[in-house]
């Protein structure tokens, strides 16, 4: 769905007194920006198994990374412990711990700086610095329903890398109309420089998406989703801007989940990737998730697994 169409749906769902909030969100979404950061697909095993089509799904604890407005979309309690590895030349890694309840989320993400591009390098960082190759992010996510169809939320976070700590902000919105959801999320709005000897900026990133969900908890659920980056992200292998489609199906009374998706980088040479993933219920509410991504887009090739709790 085009961003203007999404905003139109939001406005219809709001009272006139709330229109200034939508106008502010529109300015964020439509403002051009270039990022020097980790791509969206770095975190979230279910999201990566759907090739990154997750902004309008966001119904587990990784909503604190993908779209803060997904807080109200999942169960009453969600928690995730995950590990990811990207198999590019930098062999970058990521890990995450996140916990959400309706209207509140807590998260910690640890990302490898080797997969990100610095904006300037004067001299090499000291070899004995344990945090020289790591970005740590602590987040507090809160959300608010506006009417019966729209949720707006934000994540206030502290980001530490290269010996410095800065505050930043992510925002997101989710509109729900029956089985259809439309979402938009913007990351790193402040975009402050990090580092002392080596400089790095997280970069502003904006992504929008739509999803359709059929079925119920009593039978197989099916989710179809489409996402697109509205900004380019600068990585160590060049700029990327991803378009992704994905699907998720739950079978056998939600004891087994299957996922798949296709992604394409729309900047420069066309580079495609495909993703598969699966889930197995270890016990009621506790799942083990895995994903594998392969293709021409080296920023995406990798694998990951998690333990996920949802009630």
Query: Class for domain 3-310, per CATH?
Result: mainly beta
Q: What is d(CA 91, CA 87) in angstroms, rounded to the nearest whole number?
A: 5
Q: What is the DSSP letter of 70?
A: G
Looking at residue 208, what is its pLDDT? Answer: 98
93 vs 44, which has greater pLDDT? 44
Q: Looking up tokens 């060049």, which residue turns up?
A: 238
Could you give the 3-state DSSP secondary structure of residue 236?
coil
> Is residue 98 scored above 90 in pLDDT?
yes
Domain ranges of the chain: 3-310
Q: Which range among 86-90, 121-125, 227-231 shows the weakest confidence by mean pLDDT?
A: 121-125
- Which of the 8 DSSP states describes residue 187? E
Per-residue model confidence as pLDDT tens digits over 281-305: 999 999 999 999 999 998 899 999 9
pLDDT tens column, 120-141: 544 444 444 445 579 999 999 9
> What is the band of 258 on the pLDDT scale with cuts at 50, 70, 90?
very high
Please determine, for residue 197, whether its predicted confidence score (pLDDT) is greater than 50. yes
Cα separations (Å) of 105 from 99, 143, 195?
6, 9, 27
Confidence of residue 3 (pLDDT cuts 50, 70, 90): very low
Looking at the predicted structure, is the pLDDT value of residue 33 above 60?
Answer: no
Q: How confident is the model at residue 88 (pLDDT cuts 50, 70, 90)?
A: low
Return the top range by mean pLDDT from 36-40, 121-125, 266-270, 282-286: 282-286
pLDDT of res. 6: 40
CA pair distance 26, 118, nearest whole angstrom: 29
Matching residue, tokens 């980056």: 229
Tokens of 18: 């709330």
Strands (E) located in 57-149: 78-86, 93-101, 104-112, 120-121, 134-146
Instruction: Please report, for residues 21, 70, 153, 163, the alpha-carbon distance to residue 190 in angstroms, rounded to integers and kept in the order given.
Output: 18, 22, 16, 18
Q: Which helix (H) or strand (E) holds 5?
A: helix 3-13
Q: Is the pLDDT of residue 269 over 50?
A: yes
Paired with 155 in beta bridges are: 141, 170
């Amino acid at each position: 769905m085009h961003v203007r169409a999404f905003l139109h749906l939001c406005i219809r769902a709001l009272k006139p007194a709330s229109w200034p909030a939508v106008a502010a969100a529109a300015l964020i979404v439509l403002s051009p920006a270039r990022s020097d950061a980790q791509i969206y697909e770095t975190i979230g095993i279910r999201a990566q198994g759907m090739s990154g089509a997750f902004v309008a799904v966001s119904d587990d604890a990784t909503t604190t990374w993908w779209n803060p407005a997904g807080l109200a979309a999942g169960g009453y309690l969600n928690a995730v412990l995950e590990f990811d590895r990207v198999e590019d030349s930098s062999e970058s890694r990521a890990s995450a711990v996140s916990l959400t309840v309706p209207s509140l989320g807590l998260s910690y993400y640890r990302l490898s700086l080797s997969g990100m591009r610095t904006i300037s390098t004067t001299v090499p960082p000291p070899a004995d610095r344990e945090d020289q190759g790591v970005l740590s992010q602590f987040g507090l996510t809160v959300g608010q329903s506006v009417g019966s169809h729209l949720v707006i939320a934000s994540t206030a976070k502290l980001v530490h890398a290269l010996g410095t700590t800065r505050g930043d902000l992510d925002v997101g919105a989710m509109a729900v109309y029956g089985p259809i959801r439309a979402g938009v999320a913007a990351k790193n709005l402040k975009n402050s420089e990090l580092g002392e000897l080596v400089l790095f900026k997280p970069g502003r990133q904006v992504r929008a998406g739509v999803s359709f969900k059929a079925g119920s908890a009593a039978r197989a659920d099916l989710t179809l989703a489409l996402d697109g980056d509205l900004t380019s992200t600068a990585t160590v292998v060049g700029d990327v801007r991803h378009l992704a489609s994905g699907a998720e199906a739950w079978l056998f009374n939600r004891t087994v989940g299957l996922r798949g998706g296709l992604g394409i980088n729309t900047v420069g040479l066309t580079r495609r990737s495909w993703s598969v993933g699966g889930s197995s219920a270890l016990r009621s509410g506790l799942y083990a998730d895995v994903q594998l991504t392969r293709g021409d887009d080296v920023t995406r090739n990798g694998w990951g697994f998690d333990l996920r709790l949802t009630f």
